[in-house]
Every structure is written in structure tokens, then in C-alpha cells.
Structure 1
Amino acid sequence: MSMCDDKRSDQISIRAHHLLCTTLFCGHGYSEGFTAGMERLASRLHDGSGHAVRLLAEPDGVCAWCPNEYRLEEPVPNGLGEPVYEGCRLPGNHVIETDRKVLSALRLKEKATYSYDALLEKLEKELTEAAFDDICGDCLWRRPGLCSYEALHARARQYRQRIVGQDEQSCACKDAE
């Protein structure tokens, strides 16, 4: 598994479960703002550059647009052109638990940074259908045409080939276990 050491400006921080969501994203979202934010994130990840990705079990930039997030009454700029949020309205930390399930299923560490192609390889080769079912459960987006285990594997392979085909040295990484 390639774990990136560098703190380059092209590092992207995302919720762990957004690794699955962005791989399968096809233009649908909770709101117009959320959809636009997810589109920007997915486009950036899939541009073939092989970004360094820091995995979180907490809100990321896309969450700022989620209608389930509490927002401050007077948003303070966060430098990303996105509103600042305080927390999730959904009961029980279920989104955080979903992030942790992804990290566990793929044997990844929270707040660690990995090359995007290595993460796609893990999705393709290590995520089992049982783990996918457990992670995604009865997610709103898990319906015909939008999300499936088979589609996730196919897209992960497709996006990984785009990165590997362009530049196998896109991230200054070292092998880590």
C-alpha cells in the first residue's frame, strides 16, 4: 500500500465513505450546492493526476453543502469558498460509523494520506461485497443505476487505469504497511 509522506498542495482531504461516493458519482445529490460540491471533488479526483488523499472520519468540504449539516448563522470563510458547518443533524454518528467501516474494510488509517491510485486499487481488489453491503446498507443513493458493488469495482478499475496510464510517479510515495 502506498502511503504518501508529502504535504503537497494537491492533497485532498475527504471523508472515508466519500471514496466510494465519488467513485460512483453520476450527478445526483441532496441539494444543488451539494451536487456541485461533489461534482468538483469527483472531477478533481478523477482528473488522472494521482492526487494524495487524506482520509477522514469527520466532515469534509462537501459536507458543508449537505442539508443535514448544522450551519453557523453567520458563516465564517474557511478559505475554500464553502460555508462553515458545526455538525450533523442525523442521529447517532451514523455517518462517522460509515467512515470507520470503510477504513476498517480497506485496512486504512484515519487521517493518513494515500495515493489515490492505491486507494482505487484497494476498492477494486480488497472491498468485499459483504463489506460493501455493510457500509452502504440502506443508503439513499444505493438504488438501481446509481450505486452497486459491481459498478464500484468497474469504475475503480477505470479511474485507476487513467492514473497509472498517465504517470506512475504522480505522488512521491513510499511503500508502507
Structure 2
Amino acid sequence: MSVSIRAHHLLCMLTYLGKGYTPAFVDNYNLIVKRLNAGEEIALINGPDEICQPMLEEPGCHCHNQSVRDRDRQALMDIGRSLGKHIEPGNVLILTKIDIDLLRNEFARGALRHACNGCEWYDMCTEIAKNRFRGCRLRLPLH
């Protein structure tokens, strides 16, 4: 089985501490991270993904906005460059601890932050990176 994830959420997962928009959002996100930590693959998709699901019925849900699609495109470019491969929606990713460590290092030095510009969580994620991602929930096994 695989977890359906939009590209910019690959960045969000790097700093995820268990905080989010609503309790339902956090509960859902915790389950997704648990699945990823157990070794499930990531199926990259366009548009709202499994992380978005609790938000889709909310008034003013941003998950379909052009700005979020632009964020996904930028994230794809930055993550692909960091991993040294072309990635796009439809790809299945099997990320390892080594990949996550690489992406977190790139995130901390700013190379993966282009898609984060304008995000309401930007400052919090910056502090998490400065704190060496301490307490983050995504902890993939070595493959």
C-alpha cells in the first residue's frame, strides 16, 4: 500500500511535530506519519492528498488554490534536485532515513525552502530546523 502525498507536503513532513490546523487534521497526520515510519511508499499526486482530507470540507479550504499548486511545483523541483532525480506526480517514492536526513540538511540550509515562501508555518519550521528537527515525528527506518 502507499500513502498519497502532494509534493509540498514532503517538505511539511520534515518538520512535523504534531501541530496543525485542527485536532482532526493532527490526528490524521499522525496516522499518516505512522504509516510512513512503518515503511509505506509515497505515491506523489497532484492536488489534495491524504493529509488534506480533514480540511476539504472546511470553509475557505486552501487545498485547491493556485498558490498551493505553485508550491507543489516548486517543491518537486527542489526535492528532485536535492535527491538527484526527476520526480513528478505519478511517481512512487521509497524514502529512506538517509534521504530524510539529506532533505532535512538541505531544508536547514535553505535549499528546500523556496516552496515555503508565504506559508503561515514558515517561522515555526525555521525554528524546528534550527533546533535540528528535534521531536519531529517522521523517523524512517534505514532501508
TM-score, shorter chain, exceeding 0.5: yes
C-alpha change, 1:65 and 1:50, in structure 2 (3 Å) is: same
* Cα distance in 1 for residues equivalent to 2:104 and 2:27: 26
TM-score (structure 1 length as normaliser): 0.60
Where does 1:16-55 land on structure 2 (aligned, <5 Å)?
16-46=7-37, 49-55=38-44
Task: Count how many residue pairs are aligned between Structure 1 and Structure 2.
Answer: 132
User: Alignment partner for residue 133 of structure 1, among 103, 113, 116?
Assistant: 113
* Cα distance in 1 for residues equivalent to 2:120 and 2:45: 21
State the percentage of identical aligned residues.
Answer: 26
Structure 1 or 2, whichever has the larger Rg, is 1
For structure 2, list consecutive stretches of 5 or more residues without a partner in the other structure: 81-86
C-alpha change, 1:122 and 1:97, in structure 2 (3 Å) is: farther
C-alpha change, 1:90 and 1:110, in structure 2 (3 Å) is: closer
User: Alignment partner for residue 96 of structure 1, among 63, 69, 80?
Assistant: 69
CA offsets, 1:32-72, max 9 Å, x none?
A: 211211121122223xx332111123111221212xx3x3x
2:93 counterpart residue number: 114
Q: CA deviation at 1:124?
A: 4.0
C-alpha change, 1:115 and 1:121, in structure 2 (3 Å) is: farther
Counterpart residue identity of residue 93, structure 2: Y
Where does 1:166-177 land on structure 2 (aligned, <5 Å)?
168=143
TM-score (structure 2 length as normaliser): 0.72
Contact persistence 2:4–2:43 (CA under 8 A):
yes
C-alpha change, 1:51 and 1:119, in structure 2 (3 Å) is: farther
Alpha-carbon RMSD across the aligned residues, in angstroms, is 3.2
SS at match of 1:147: helix
Which has more strand, going by share of residues?
Answer: 1
For structure 1, list consecutive stretches of 5 or more residues without a partner in the other structure: 1-8, 72-84, 169-177
